[in-house]
Amino acid sequence: MLWLFSKKPPSLDRFPTENWTVAQGEADGKPMVVRVNSGARKFVAHPELPVRLGVTVAFNQPNAHGFCSAEEGDQLSAIEDQLCEGLFAARAAFPVLVITVGGRREFVFFARDKSAASRAVDATAASTTTHKLVYGFVDDPEWASFTQFG
**pLDDT tens, 21-78?**
999 999 999 999 999 999 999 999 999 999 999 999 999 999 999 999 999 999 999 9
Across the range 78-90, mean pLDDT stands at: 95
Across the range 72-93, mean pLDDT stands at: 96
Residue 34 neighbours by CB under 8 Å, 6+ apart = 22, 23, 24, 25, 97, 98, 99, 100, 149
* Positive/negative CA dihedral, 57, 62, 65, 71: negative
pLDDT over 90 (residue 1): no
What is the chain's alpha carbon radius of gyration, rounded to the nearest angstrom?
Answer: 15
Distance CA 60, CA 128 (A): 13
- Confidence class for position 130, pLDDT limits 50, 70, 90: very high
Distance CA 59, CA 63 (A): 9
Distance CA 26, CA 102 (A): 10
All structural domains of the chain: 30-147 (3.30.70.60)
Distance CA 56, CA 138 (A): 14
Instruction: Identify the pLDDT of residue 3.
Output: 47
